[in-house]
Structure formats: structure tokens, C-alpha cells
Amino acid sequence: MNKRLFSLTCAVSCSLIWGSAFVAQDMGMDYNGPFTFTFGRLFLGFLTLLPFLIIFERKQVNLLFFNKKNFFNLVFIGFLLSVGNVLQQYALLYTDVANTAVFTIFYVILVPFVSFYFFSKNIHKSIWLSIIICFFGGVLLTEFDNLQVRLGDSIAVINALFWAFHIVFISRFLIVFNHPITIACLQCLFASFFAFIPALIFENVSFSNMVLDGPEMIYAGILSSGIAFLLQIYGQQNLSPAPVAIIFSLEGVFAAIFGWIILNQYLNESKILGISLILLAVIFSQLAPIYDKKKYGRV
């Protein structure tokens, strides 16, 4: 399979799993707080990927892992992942699945700016139009007359900043440390540690409570944290940060659909239009550079 097509397939599959996991994240805080749920799912993600790391990459990364710079990068990526997940959980306390997911994907707007201003990464002109379309799609999904919803939406927007840096730093790190399973596995371990400490301080961490939210935590842990984060990194191997971020934004579309089907969180006409605009932006961001290259011989 073509490498770019493989990465594209991984990115779309990742978005589908992430989108469906928002329902599990919303239902998984009946007995556990945001920090505890985040710790549980990320540690399960680590355990899910650990056998794959041992089988496929242990010999390759044995010496590389002890490089201080690589270790620091993995810890920093884990920190970004942990904060992003915790803020996402807090957003779900105040607003619905569709809004949390779609405002989370405002990282689409932020990734090109992070790539350009921090790393001077050239960006195809189609990305900027796609960003504008995504922005208007997101606006159609919010409820400006509901203060609680606006609070949840605001938390989700702040959360998007951490996801933007996470996506960009993953892409940068893959250039010097191209070991996707190791990155996916160890970022989950470090991220779970960053969530566990505040969980002990601010929440009542109880194994029995974690068992009560077990099905949701297992789904979010094994699939969304383990498998999906690995698919994310494979997706970013052959795709630039800005366009891959737009593909990941499909998680907002999938989350809204699953929230409607499973949680009966109704989608009115404006929300459906917003979802449609985001889907349009995703398609446009992928087709425009290909057309440009064929017509003018450039990207």
C-alpha cells in the first residue's frame, strides 16, 4: 500500500475511534472524576501497547530511549496528552458530546500557526480556507444563550491548544525518533502519571469506583488511548501536521453522530450544517494539494 494512503487510512480510522470514545468519556464519570478517569484510560492504553512495543520495537529503541533528549521529548508529549485529556473530561461535565468534540478540534485552526511560527513549516494555501470553513462549522455547533454550555465550550477550546502542540511535536519527534509504537506506548505511561498525582490530591481515587465505570474506561483506554493513539502516530508518519489535523477533526463529526444515536443528544439543523462544513473542509484540504501538484507540478 502507498505510504501516504496508509497514513491517511490510519488517520481516518483514528478519528472514528476518537469520535466514538467521546460517548464513553461522557458516560465514564458517574463514579470517577476527570483526573481519575484520565489516569485509568491512559494507563490502560499503556498496558495495551506494551506487548507490541516488546515484540516489535524493544531491540531497536533499547539504547535510543536512554538518550536524554528523546526521554525529555516523550515526557513533554505525555504532559500535553494528559492535560488535553483532562480538559476534555472537564468540558464534558458542562456541555454535550458534540460541542466538546467539535471545539476540541479547533486544534485545526491552531496547528498551522504552531507549525509556521515555531518551526517555519510551509503550509499549502488550501489549509487556510479549510480552517475558515472549520471555524464557521464550529460556530454553528455552539449554544450562545446557555452559560454552562459556554463554559464547557471554552474549556474545550483551551484544550484544543494542547492538542495542537501535541500533534505538531509528534510530527517533529518522528523525524528523529521514528518508532511509533514506542512513542504511543510511553506517552500514555507518562500522561497517566501526570493525571494520577492530581487525582490523588483532588479526587477520591478508588479501584472499586473505577470498576463501576469499567466498560467505559476500557473502551476509552484500549481503543481510544491505545489503538487510536498508535494510529495517530502512523497517520502522522507521512502526512504534514496541518492537513493531518484536519483529518483528525473528523472526530467531531463522528462524536456528534454517536452522541445523537447513543445519548439522544439531538442535532438540530444548524448543528448538522456545522458538521457538514467540517466534513467539507476535510475533503477540500486533501484534494486541493493533489490537484495543485498535478496541474502546476507543485504542492
Q: What is the pLDDT of residues 94-119, one digit of tens each?
A: 888 877 887 887 787 788 778 777 77
Confidence of residue 241 (pLDDT cuts 50, 70, 90): confident
Confidence of residue 147 (pLDDT cuts 50, 70, 90): low
C-alpha 211/C-alpha 82 separation (Å) is 21
Closest-CA residue to 103 (of 63, 49, 161, 169): 161
C-alpha 164/C-alpha 249 separation (Å) is 11
Q: What is the pLDDT of residues 153-186, one digit of tens each?
A: 889 889 999 999 999 999 889 988 888 999 999 9
Handedness of CA 288, 168, 239, 117 (dihedral sign): positive
Interaxial angle between packed helices 269-296 and 250-263, expressed in degrees from 0 to 180 and rounded to the nearest 10? 150
Q: Find the length of the chain.
A: 299
Grid coordinates representing 215? 466498560
Alpha helix positions (H), 203-268: 207-212, 214-218, 228-237, 241-248, 250-263
C-alpha 122/C-alpha 289 separation (Å) is 13
Identify whether the C-beta of residue 19 lies closer than 8 Å to the C-beta of residue 258.
yes
Task: Give the mean model confidence (pLDDT) for residues 223-232.
Answer: 93
195 pLDDT higher than 90: yes
Task: Give the mean model confidence (pLDDT) for residues 270-280.
Answer: 82
Confidence of residue 135 (pLDDT cuts 50, 70, 90): confident
C-alpha 254/C-alpha 232 separation (Å) is 16
Confidence of residue 3 (pLDDT cuts 50, 70, 90): confident
298 pLDDT higher than 50: no
Confidence of residue 290 (pLDDT cuts 50, 70, 90): low
H-helix or E-strand spanning residue 112: helix 107-119
**Residue 120, by phi and psi: left (phi above 0), alpha (psi -120 to 50) or beta?**
left
Q: Which residue has the cell 518551526?
A: 119
What integer pLDDT is reported at residue 145 of this predicted model?
A: 63
